[in-house]
Amino acid sequence: MPRRWVPPDTLRNMLVDSHCHLDFPELACQLENVLALMRENRVHRALCISVRLEDFPQVRALAETHAPLYGTVGVHPDYEGVEEATVEKLVSLASHSRIVGIGETGLDYYRLKGDLDWQRERFRCHIRAARECRKPLVVHTRSAAEDTLRIMREERAGEVRGVMHCFTESWDVASQAMDMGFYVSFSGIVTFKNAQALKDVAKRVPLERMLIETDSPFLAPVPFRGKVNQPGYVKHVAEEIARLKAVAFEDVARATTQNFNELFGV
């Protein structure tokens, strides 16, 4: 059974990290400290994201053991030579009550070159699984926005919706994704001084369509840039969003928490 967790007393100050990798060694070795900082910074939930089926048991174990943690199941587009997902396998693994989404999935033309048709087929498989099990998608896209959106439309991803995670694309891409019912999630990148274009997008995305995340252990926000990231640092993403949109921190916390709960049904 999950360990007892006492959440913050008001939704106004609750935060959710909608994307992290607590099974990665940088964080798995200090999990109790990670959870303690979450409590200290009022981060009452975090979504642990699967990137390989071989590692999914660790993701599931985290979600089973710790009440503030939930999980997803999927194969990241960057991974070659790993166990390939099938619709049937994804649907079966997603039937667990603590597994609330499919992904991360999507397309990445930045790290990998050449014939990437296998990547596109993997993405289609994940969307079909999400539609079958009726759980939302966690979508990764890098240097592949046109194909990502095209496949989402062709496979009717809007039927289950989801989140465009660690968003770094243009307003036009954000707008098209939101038209399909997707949320747009901002990571620590939005706090970087050289990310003005992304800051401008964040100003335009309505709070009711926004999530926040760390993508930890990567992309630590200012003032921790360059260090190992963790869910407790999502507070700094929320603070930057509040500054950019000229709204109260509590408004960002409330909206992004409500959005997460609604999308993932937790």
- Res 15: pLDDT: 98
Average pLDDT, integer, range 167-177 = 98
The pLDDT value recorded for residue 1 is 42
Query: Do 185 and 166 form a contact (C-beta atoms < 8 A)?
Result: yes
- Give, rounded to a whole angstrom, the gap between the first and last alpha carbons of the chain: 17
Adjacent-strand bridge partners of 210: 184
Is the pLDDT at 142 greater than 50, yes or no? yes
Mean pLDDT of 57-66: 98
Q: Which amino acid type is present at position 251?
A: D
Which DSSP letter does residue 4 get?
A: P
Is the pLDDT at 10 greater than 70, yes or no?
Answer: no
pLDDT, mean of residues 162-167:
98
- Identify the burial level of 250 via C-beta atoms within 10 angstroms of its C-beta, where 0-12 means exposed, 13-18 middle and 19 or more buried: middle
Domains within the chain, CATH numbers bracketed: 15-264 (3.20.20.140)
- DSSP letters, 40-62, are HTTEEEEEEPP--GGGHHHHHHH
Peptide bond preceding 146 in cis form (omega within 30 of 0): no
| Residue-level pLDDT at 8 | 44
Q: Distance between CA atoms of 221 and 226, rounded to whole angstroms?
A: 8
Both tokens assigned to 132 = 């079958």
pLDDT-based confidence at residue 3 (cuts at 50, 70, 90): very low
Query: Is the pLDDT assigned to residue 26 strictly greater than 70?
Result: yes
Contact 191, 229 (CB under 8 A): no
Torsion angle defined by CA atoms of residues 258, 191, 247 and 214, in that order, rounded to the nearest 10 degrees: 10
Calpha distance 72→19 (Å, rounded): 10
Q: Letter for the amino acid at 263?
A: L
Q: Which helix (H) or strand (E) holds 203?
A: helix 196-204
Name the pLDDT band for 112 (thresholds 50, 70, 90): confident
For position 241, what pLDDT does the model report? Answer: 98
Residue 114: what pLDDT?
A: 83
- pLDDT given at position 111: 84
Query: What is the amino acid identity at position 123?
Result: F
The C-alpha atoms of residue 160 and residue 91 are separated, in whole angstroms, by 14
Q: Is the pLDDT of residue 4 over 60?
A: no
pLDDT at position 12: 64
Between CA 261 and CA 266 the distance in angstroms is 5
In the predicted model, what is the mean pLDDT of residues 47-75?
98
The arithmetic mean of pLDDT across residues 93-109, rounded, is 98
